[in-house]
Amino acid sequence: MLPAASPLLADMAEGRTTATRLVEMALAHATDPAGEGVRVFTALYADQAMAQAAAFDQARAAGISLPPLAGLPVTIKDLFDEAGRETLAGSVASHGEGPAAQDAPAVAALRRAGAIILGRTTMTEYAFSGLGLNPHTGTPRNPWDRANGRIPGGSSAGAAVSVSDGMAVAGLGSDTGGSLRIPAALCGLTGFKPTARRVSRDGAYPLSTSLDCIGVIARSVQCCVLFDQILSASPVASLPALSLQGRRLAIPTAVVLDQMDIHVAASFAATVRTLEKAGASIEEIALPELAEIPARGIQGGIAAAEAYALHQHRLVRKAHLYDPRVLVRILNGQAIPASIYIDCLKAREEICTRISRITSAYDALIMPTVPTVAPLLAPLECDDGLYGATNALMLRNTSLFNALDRPAISLPCHAPGTAPVGLMVVGETMKDDVTLSLACAIETALQTAGTNA
């Protein structure tokens, strides 16, 4: 299994391992016939990855200065452009539409930084679901309770399982309503959604141009920091260490605590106690404005309208090729008139302003990332009603903060050996570094207390 990024970089620098060895380990997991690789990858670049690893090892042995991520195997979600390849975005409907002319900026940034791209990972078709199911490519199983077959979360399903199963150090993905944070939470990983404008979305097949964000799923907050600095073109440096002593954290009581299952509720309560013992001041606040976001159709209305605008011409020719459950959601946008769409955009701006006036008094908001543990896959595959209700529940908490354009990170907060549960830490817009620094402190407190798997 591949550990976190920083220790691996140190091990390569000090000769304890090599890029070749890391790629060999990743490929062994990816090609294991008893593993999930066949459902994780839509394309695997084994020969290319081995050649790049060998080149890095030779350069390192010769004392040549290398870029910051040199030798780390990573994966990229199937919606990112790569020069010369078709961008399918998890759909057979995109076949035949021509190769990309150049790499997406996010992909190009990873390459420049020395990351070795092991392959492209499966996703919900066109990223339009938080469950991770895909009838075209298959659905990778969650690493927890794999024998019974649970969902990985989506839409960045393959990205999460590539990390959980040792096929990559990090998975590049997107997040429109929770597509990084949901699979991270359900798979016991860490997923970060930045403020949208900090990372270029060019060359990433859009779902909603107003809500899409680009980030990673990895093993730790520090891993997410390292990759975020590359993707956002920030200086690569350690964030300032923060103590939780005296930090003000708020728990909204509107919406986000509803319908928690017993395990999530117990894990969240234990996390709150741990953070208080570490010195944080934690206060419950009503924040009823959160309930206005779904009530006024802000996130859902914007996403559906923009998705339909993007897909309408293809649907004339290829609607029969779409996953029916994704097709229904896209077609919902057809019934949204321009006036309602514009009203949603205005309401979004107004609620963002009102909520910021309240939350700016706190260092962060905290809450469960999703209110339940990963549900079983089989019932969702055969019941459209259950699929829709479960999808809405999975997306409920995370999507609020796409609508508010807040940096948000999910990190594990469950006891070791139990079902994965994610803690979501939400900061203020464009205060990503502060949010990540605080998340590092929270992660340390949870690990010290032994409540972080």
Asked if residue 1 has pLDDT above 90, the reply is no
**What value does the CA radius of gyration of the chain take, rounded to a whole number of Å?**
21
Question: Which residue in 94, 155, 410, 437 is the catalytic one?
Answer: 155
**pLDDT surpassing 90 at residue 239:** no
* DSSP strand pairing (213-218 vs 116-121): unpaired
Higher pLDDT, 145 or 238: 145
CATH architecture of 5-297+321-449: Alpha-Beta Complex (3.90)
Distance CA 269, CA 263 (A): 10
Per residue in 124-137, pLDDT (tens digit) is 999 999 999 999 99
Active-site residue flag, 346? no
| Spatial contact of 78 and 44, defined as CB atoms under 8 Å apart | no
Domain assignments of the chain as residue spans, ordered by start: 5-297+321-449
Q: How far apart are CA 214 and CA 306, in angstroms?
A: 18
**Cα(411)–Cα(160) distance, rounded to whole angstroms?**
13
Task: Report the C-alpha gap between 144 and 169 in whole angstroms.
Answer: 19
Local confidence band at 4 (pLDDT 50, 70, 90 cut-offs): confident
- Looking at residue 368, what is its pLDDT? 98
pLDDT of 142: 98
- Concerning whether 77 is annotated as a catalytic residue, the answer is yes
Output the average pLDDT for the chain. Answer: 96
Q: Give residue 268's pLDDT.
A: 98
Which of 179, 232, 267, 410 is catalytic? The answer is 179
Query: What's the pTM value of the predicted model, to 2 decimals?
Result: 0.97
In the chain, the percentage of residues whose pLDDT exceeds 90 is 95
pLDDT at 238: 61
Could you report the per-residue pLDDT of 28-60, keeping only the tens digit for each? Answer: 999 999 999 999 999 999 999 999 999 999 999
The pLDDT value recorded for residue 87 is: 98
364 forms beta bridges with 249
Residue pLDDT, tens place only, 55-83:
999 999 999 999 999 999 999 999 999 99
Residue 339 has pLDDT above 80, yes or no: yes
Average pLDDT, integer, range 293-314: 96
Q: Is 179 a catalytic residue?
A: yes
Tell the residue number behind the tokens 């520090």, with chain if given: 222
